[in-house]
Every structure is written in structure tokens, then in C-alpha cells.
């Protein structure tokens, strides 16, 4: 069996914490739902085509991950 990597272990730890603390669970859910809600807002309220909304949100997520990685490396 493969050993989980550090990222997987952190994710499991966060999930366990979210089970025990409703505030953590609420924040985790809002972060998880955020991209979907943003795509929905762009499409329904601002009239963006689905593919453009998805691409824009994906670009934002990639930039956020890159910024987080750079902060962790510093």
C-alpha cells in the first residue's frame, strides 16, 4: 500500500478537525463551495459563458496556489 504524501496527510487532518469543530467545517465548506458559487455568479448575474467563467475561476485558483507555494517557500 502506498504511503500518503504530506498534502494528503494535511487534508486528512483538516477533515478530522472539521468533524470535531463546526466552525472549521463551515469555513472548509465555504472554501470548497467558493469556486462553484463564483462560476454561478459570473454566469447567472453577469452573463458570462460557462467556459469563460470556468477558465477565469481556474486561473484564480492556480494563482492562489502559486502564491501559497511561494509564501511557503519563503
Burial-class residue 24 by CB neighbours within 10 Å (0-12, 13-18, 19+).
Answer: middle
Rounded to 5°, angle at Cα 69 from 15 and 34: 50
What is residue 28's DSSP assignment? H
Span 16-60, pLDDT tens digits: 999 999 988 898 888 888 999 999 999 999 999 999 999 999 999
Instruction: Give pLDDT tens digits for 14-28.
Output: 889 999 999 888 988
**pLDDT computed for residue 1 by the predictor:** 59
Average pLDDT, rounded, for the chain:
89
Q: How far apart are CA 26 and CA 18, in angstroms?
A: 8
Give the whole-angstrom CA distance, residue 58 versus residue 47: 18
Amino acid at each position: 500500500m502506498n504511503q500518503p504524501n504530506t498534502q494528503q496527510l494535511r487534508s486528512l487532518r483538516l477533515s478530522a478537525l472539521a468533524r470535531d469543530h463546526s466552525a472549521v467545517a463551515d469555513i472548509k465548506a465555504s472554501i470548497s463551495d467558493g469556486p462553484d458559487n463564483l462560476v454561478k455568479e459570473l454566469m447567472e448575474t453577469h452573463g458570462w459563458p460557462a467556459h469563460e467563467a470556468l477558465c477565469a475561476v481556474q486561473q484564480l485558483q492556480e494563482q492562489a496556489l502559486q502564491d501559497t507555494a511561494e509564501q511557503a517557500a519563503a
